């Protein structure tokens, strides 16, 4: 099953909210990464559909929100808003079954978000969820953190025409057992190769428009290439 996990982090204006919350409203946020126990976890990749992402929605008729993965898990609770953080005292959740591409990686990443927002599942959730919002020429960023140091990084990046045009980048041979070659790169691109669990296995920075990547030591299987943070292509190691 090929589906895009669409992250909708759409806060709607509610009566009585302070101006600080309005910056978060009506924005389609996407998860860049989850930081748990000082380890970074990136959304699993799905060939042809870019990056899987999770959901966080609020409704405009109350302080009630629904946190949804978009495929199988849903978490719901009533938000209490503060100046720079919020609480979710009571949580309910449902568990479904996802059997699509990257099944284990998707379920694991989805569970990280479920775990992040449910806090202590055996007691009332007293966790404070702090948020930091910022804007730049490249778009908007949002970081939500827990008291234990775990964080979820969201963004709403503005892509230029050159950023979204992937047709100029050439990758060959594919499949391959030893090397892959990438052409028509921008200088000093951030080239990343992930396995099908979402684990980063190689990082390369190029100083020419062409780049060779040695994949001899990688185990046979499916890998995903990202260039400057964008999903480009599935790579098959023979």
Domains identified in the chain and CATH numbers: 9-157 (2.40.128.270), 161-237 (2.60.40.3080)
Q: For residue 12, report the phi and psi dihedrals to the nearest 5 degrees.
A: -105, 145
Confidence (pLDDT) at 235: 85
- Cis before 201? omega within 30: no
Alpha helices in the chain (DSSP H): 19-22, 103-118, 161-164
| Residue 99, number of CB atoms within 10 A of its CB | 10
Confidence (pLDDT) at 71: 45
Confidence (pLDDT) at 115: 85
Could you tell me whether strands 39-41 and 30-36 are parallel, antiparallel, or unpaired per DSSP bridges? antiparallel
Q: Return d(Cα 130, Cα 83) in angstroms, integer.
A: 9
Please enumerate in sequence order all residues whose Cβ is within 8 A of that of 40, keeping only pairs 6 or more positions apart, or say none: 33, 34
Q: Please check whether residue 94 is in contact with residue 138, taking contact to mean a CB–CB distance below 8 angstroms.
A: no
Confidence (pLDDT) at 161: 41
Name which of 229, 231, 164 is nearest 32 in CA terms. 229
| Residue 153, number of CB atoms within 10 A of its CB | 17
Q: Return d(Cα 136, Cα 158) in angstroms, integer.
A: 10
Q: What is the pLDDT along the chain (238 residues), one digit of tens a residue?
A: 433 333 333 332 233 334 465 666 666 677 788 899 998 888 775 433 333 344 444 444 444 554 444 445 556 667 777 788 888 777 766 666 666 666 777 778 778 878 888 776 556 788 888 988 888 776 788 898 999 999 988 887 654 444 444 447 888 888 889 999 888 888 888 898 888 777 788 998 888 888 999 999 999 887 888 888 776 677 888 8
């Amino acid at each position: 099953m090929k589906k895009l996990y669409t992250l909708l982090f759409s806060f709607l204006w509610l009566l009585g909210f302070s101006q600080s919350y309005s910056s978060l409203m009506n924005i389609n946020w996407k998860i860049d990464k989850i930081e748990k126990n000082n380890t970074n976890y990136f959304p699993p990749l799905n060939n042809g559909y870019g990056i899987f992402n999770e959901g966080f929605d609020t409704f405009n008729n109350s302080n009630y929100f629904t946190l949804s993965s978009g495929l199988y898990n849903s978490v719901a609770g009533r938000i209490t808003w503060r100046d720079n953080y919020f609480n979710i005292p009571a949580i309910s959740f449902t568990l479904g079954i996802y059997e699509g591409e990257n099944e284990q990686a998707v379920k694991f990443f989805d569970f990280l978000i479920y775990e992040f927002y449910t806090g202590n599942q055996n007691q009332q959730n007293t966790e404070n969820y702090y948020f930091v919002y910022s804007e730049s020429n490249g778009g908007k960023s949002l970081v939500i953190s827990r008291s234990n140091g775990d964080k979820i990084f969201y963004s709403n990046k503005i892509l230029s025409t050159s950023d979204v045009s992937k047709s100029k980048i050439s990758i060959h041979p594919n499949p391959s057992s030893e090397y892959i070659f990438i052409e028509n790169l921008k200088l000093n691109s951030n080239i990343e190769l992930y396995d099908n669990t979402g684990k980063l296995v190689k990082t390369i920075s190029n100083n020419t428009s062409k780049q060779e990547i040695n994949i001899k030591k990688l185990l046979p299987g499916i890998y995903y290439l990202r260039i400057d943070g964008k999903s480009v292509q599935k790579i098959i190691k023979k």
